[in-house]
Each structure stands twice: as structure tokens, then as C-alpha cells.
């Protein structure tokens, strides 16, 4: 799909919270995710921080079911041990 280093750069956002959640998902889940989920992640990375932050902080729900599942998955990824 996309080169991981490019995606890692796109995960760098304006806030530490977003950086951590997006990078954690990328490093632990992205490569093994189904293609549809990977496409949704790419769409998520296109969002502005002001739109993305409420989704990942649980203050707002994405409109599509696919995006809702991805956001929930990102919010629940635990750090590598």
C-alpha cells in the first residue's frame, strides 16, 4: 500500500495525544489490517487536527460505520510491551 515511513510522518500532528494514538496504531495494527481498514486510516490522516481530535478523544462520532470502527480501534490500541 503506502510506504510506512511516509505514513509515520503523516501521523505527526499538532498534539502529542494525536501523535501517540496514530503512531501506535500504525506500528501495531496497520500492516495486518484489511485493505478497507488501511484505506480508512489514509482517509483519517487527511483530516485536519480540529476534526480528528474530537473523534479520537471520544467527543464526536464519525459519520460512517467503517470510520467509527477504526477510531474505536485506534483509541483502544495499547502500547507495545
Domain-wise residue ranges, the chain: 4-76
Domain 4-76, what fold? Answer: DNA polymerase; domain 1 (1.10.150)
Q: Give the predicted TM-score (pTM) of the model.
A: 0.89
For the chain, the maximum distance between any two Cα atoms, rounded to a whole number of angstroms, is 33
**pLDDT at residue number 36:** 96
Average pLDDT, the chain: 92
Over residues 1-29, the pLDDT tens digits come to: 458 889 999 999 989 999 999 999 999 99
Model confidence at 78: pLDDT above 90: no
Task: Dihedral sign for Cα 69, 65, 30, 45, please.
Answer: negative
Distance CA 2, CA 11 (A): 13
Secondary structure of residue 74 in the 3-state scheme: helix
Helices of type H across the chain: 4-10, 16-28, 35-45, 49-56, 65-76
CB 75 within 8 A of CB 21: yes
**pLDDT at residue number 80:** 66
**pLDDT at residue number 81:** 43
Amino acid at each position: 500500500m503506502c510506504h510506512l515511513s511516509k505514513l509515520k510522518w503523516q501521523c505527526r500532528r499538532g498534539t502529542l495525544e494525536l501523535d501517540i494514538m496514530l503512531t501506535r496504531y500504525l506500528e501495531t495494527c496497520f500492516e495486518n489490517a484489511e485493505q478497507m481498514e488501511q484505506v480508512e486510516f489514509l482517509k483519517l490522516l487527511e483530516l485536519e487536527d480540529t476534526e480528528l481530535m474530537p473523534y479520537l478523544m471520544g467527543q464526536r462520532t464519525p459519520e460512517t460505520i467503517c470510520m467509527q470502527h477504526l477510531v474505536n480501534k485506534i483509541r483502544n490500541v495499547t502500547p507495545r510491551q
